[in-house]
Amino acid sequence: MTLLITIFAAVVVTVLWYNRKNDDMRLGTLCFLFWGASLMWLVDAIFEFAELKMEYFTPAPEDMLNDAFLGLAVVALALVIWLVRLLIADPKGSVRRALKKE
Amino acid sequence: MACFLVSAAEAIVVKAVEKGVEKKESASHKEGELQVEETHKIPFSRKLKWLCRMLCGGSVLLAFEHVWHGEVVPWFPFLTAASDPNDAAEMLHEMSTVGVAMAVLVTVVWIGMCVVADVIVKRPEKNIESSKAL
């Protein structure tokens, strides 16, 4: 479930990156973050499948729910990392302008 | 248990190499050593940046998963498996199998990405126009 949620997030962000007008939002960073994690969880899933065989596809509902929560938490963490990086880099100068105003 | 450490270690090495390559490239750029053909190439330091970001991003998110599962704690020795010799052996085994496989897969995907990126950059404008029509 975590792998699936991360892959969906990676695909959505990649589509947004492809359709970007300019590089102000630094979506590339988010793409690499999600794709890197997706590849790593894919390896984890392959090893788990090798161990559990077909049982891998029938997880207990409780485990699935926990994995789904983890997936969403991972997406939230990645978004926060991206946002902090974006605000620090401040490519549009919005933060600088706001700080100077006050 | 600590499979993300392998990718994190690779990310540190890649970052160091990236900085070295970046210095070399900027030095050769200043000296005007770049050929006309090379100006259309993606700099190797930029490609290394892609690998570093994938490794760092993956490691951070995987580390979070380990915190979630209680395998990483904020106190010494930071990895719960490290406090027990049996668990430590299992952890090292996991690092050498799953961890190495993760780092290898990300690197292999990155190599593929670099090859495709070079092909896209070299592609003539005409091909882009014809692909738009499809």
Average pLDDT over residues B27-48: 74
In the 8-state DSSP scheme, what is residue B99? I
All residues of chain A having their beta carbon less than 8 Å from the beta carbon of residue B53 are 28-29, 32-33, 36
Hey, is the C-beta of B53 within 8 angstroms of any chain A C-beta? yes
pLDDT for residue B42 is more than 80: yes
pLDDT averaged over every residue in chain B = 85
Average pLDDT of B27-42? 67
CA distance B97 to chain A (A): 9
| Domain definitions of chain B by residue range | 4-133
What letter does residue B55 receive in the DSSP assignment?
H
**pLDDT per residue over A23-40, tens digit each?**
888 899 999 999 999 999
The arithmetic mean of pLDDT across residues A89-95, rounded, is: 88
Cα–Cα distances (Å) from B80 to A64, B3, B66, B123, in that order, read: 24, 13, 10, 51
Q: Does B126 have pLDDT greater than 70?
A: no
Tokens 């729910």 sit at which residue? A65
SS3 (DSSP) at A40 = helix
The token pair at B37 is 């053909």
What pLDDT does A22 receive?
83
User: What confidence score (pLDDT) does residue B38 get?
Assistant: 55
| Residue B54: both structure tokens together | 């994938």
Confidence of residue B72 (pLDDT cuts 50, 70, 90): confident
What's the whole-number mean pLDDT along residues A82-89? 92
- Mutation target for B interface from A14, A40, A72, A79: give the one with most B CBs within 10 A: A40
Q: Of the candidates B53, B61, B109, which has its C-beta nearest A29's C-beta? A: B53
**ipTM (interface pTM):** 0.89
Could you say which of A32, A40, A70 has the minimum Cβ distance to residue B7?
A: A40
Q: Is B72 on the interface with A (CB under 8 A)?
A: no
On whether any CB of chain A is under 8 Å from the CB of B6, the answer is: no
What does the pLDDT read at residue B30? 73
Reply yes or no on whether the pLDDT at B112 is more than 80. Answer: yes
| pLDDT at B35 > cutoff 70 | no
Domain total in chain A: 1
Q: Which of A21-35, B26-40, B115-129 has the lowest mean pLDDT?
A: B26-40
Average model confidence (pLDDT) across chain A: 91
pLDDT of amino acid B132 = 59
Domain span at A83: 2-101
The tens digit of pLDDT for each residue in A39-53 reads 999 999 999 999 888
B44 phi, psi to nearest 5 deg: -65, -35
Does A39 contact B53 at a Cβ distance shorter than 8 Å? no
Using CA atoms, how far apart are residues A11 and A1, in angstroms rounded to an integer? 15
Which residues are paired to B72 by β-bridges? B79
Residues in chain A: 102
Q: For every residue of B42-78, which 3-state class applies, written as one string?
A: CCHHHHHHHHHHHHHHHHHHHHHHHHHCCCECCCCCC
Of A28, A29, A37, the CB nearest to B58: A37
The confidence score (pLDDT) of residue B33 equals 60
Given this model, what pLDDT does residue B134 score? Answer: 56
